[in-house]
Copies of this chain bind each other. A is one copy, B any other.
Amino acid sequence: MVFELSEIINYLGDSIESVKGEIDHIVIKYLKDPKEVDKHTLDWVNPLKKNKQEIAETTEAKAILVDSEVVYSQELQKKQKVLIYVNNPKICIALIANKFFDKKRQTGIHPSAMIDKEVQIGGNTYIGPNCILEKCIIGDNVQLHGNIFIYENVVVGNNVEIHAGTIIGNEAHNFVEDDNGKKVKFPHLGGVIIEDNVTIGAQSVISKGVLSNTVIGEGTKIAQLVFIGANNKIGINCAIRPNVMISGSVMIGDFSIIASSATIREQTNIGTNSFIGMGAVVTKNVPDNEIWVGNPARKLIK
């Protein structure tokens, strides 16, 4: 892939506050890890770094996305660097990565996919190899990478991306004991609703509800090897990180983060904008805007 820097600048458009230096004839071939940056890399300075000026002045790259705290110093001028000033270099580099460097998305249905005849599938959607879809509804611009099993009574919204190996709509572990300790299955009669713009990572499991639906809110991002139990109602724009285990009938407010390997007890409420720490074992309700960590989890007093 080879681009003129001017193409990228045009794409960013109004996100750019100003450009310093001569952009003509600069050719961009890569985004790279800081250690491997070369003259054909489009580099950027993370706004959270302390030594931003130093990073900009020492990179091998010719073109650098920066925020307003980086000065177009004599050093940078002498080296004929180009600084592209934006409000948030990290977002801009992500947008550029998606637009110019990411794999082209596919559409259509792979011939090995097995799809129930009553499935409804939206436009511009990709159903990858070995996907198995029972009776369900799939929105527009959906990407099902492959080897995904969707049980019946699942609704997948628009712009949803689901990575390989994930299972949606299974029955979770719900048994009633009789007088002899024998376990009778309580069947799951509900479904799963995945709202728009959700991403679900590889090898995760999202169970259907028992008598209501499990709901994953708009824009929420679920990672790999995550378990979401029956009847969960997860808010919008949450982040559920790898290896998280959320038991049944949990409610999670909007914009909350559940860090890796956390476990949440059944019938617990997690507030809006809350943060559950790595490996936390949550056994109580967590109010809005709080950070809870540890086993058992307690509020972090900073």
Contact = CB atoms under 8 A, between A and B. Distances in A.
Interface of A: 31-33, 35-36, 88, 90-91, 93-95, 97-98, 101-103, 112, 114, 129-130, 132, 145-147, 149, 151-152, 161, 163-165, 167, 170-173, 175-176, 178-179, 181-187, 189-190, 199, 201-203, 205, 207, 209-212, 219, 221-225, 227, 229, 231, 237, 239, 241-243, 245, 247, 255, 260-261, 263, 265, 278-279, 281, 283, 294-296
A178 B229 CA distance: 29
Contacts of A185: 94, 98, 161, 199
Contact of A165 (B146, B149, B183): B149
Contacts of A103: 152, 187
A247 B255 contact: no
Given A172-B223, A186-B97, A205-B202, A88 B132 contact: no
B175 A102 contact: no
Nearest to A36: B212
With a 10 A CB-CB cut-off, give which of A31, A102, A132, A190 has the most chain B CB atoms: A132
10 contacts: A36-B211, A91-B176, A91-B178, A130-B132, A170-B224, A173-B224, A175-B199, A182-B237, A279-B281, A294-B295
Given A91-B184, A184-B91, A295-B294, A261 B281 contact: yes
Contact of A242 (B95, B172, B219): B172
A225 B103 CA distance: 27
B101 A187 contact: yes
A33 B215 CA distance: 14
A167 B170 contact: no
Contact of A278 (B147, B189, B209, B283): B283
A97 B173 contact: no
Contacts of A182: 219, 237
Given A102-B189, A170-B224, A278-B281, A184 B237 contact: no
The 9 closest A-B pairs by CB, nearest first: A279-B281, A173-B223, A33-B212, A243-B245, A261-B263, A102-B187, A149-B164, A170-B202, A33-B211
A239 B175 contact: yes
Contacts of A281: 261, 278-279
A31 B172 CA distance: 18
A221 B173 contact: yes
Contacts of A173: 199, 201, 221-224, 239, 241-242
A128 to B, nearest CB: 8
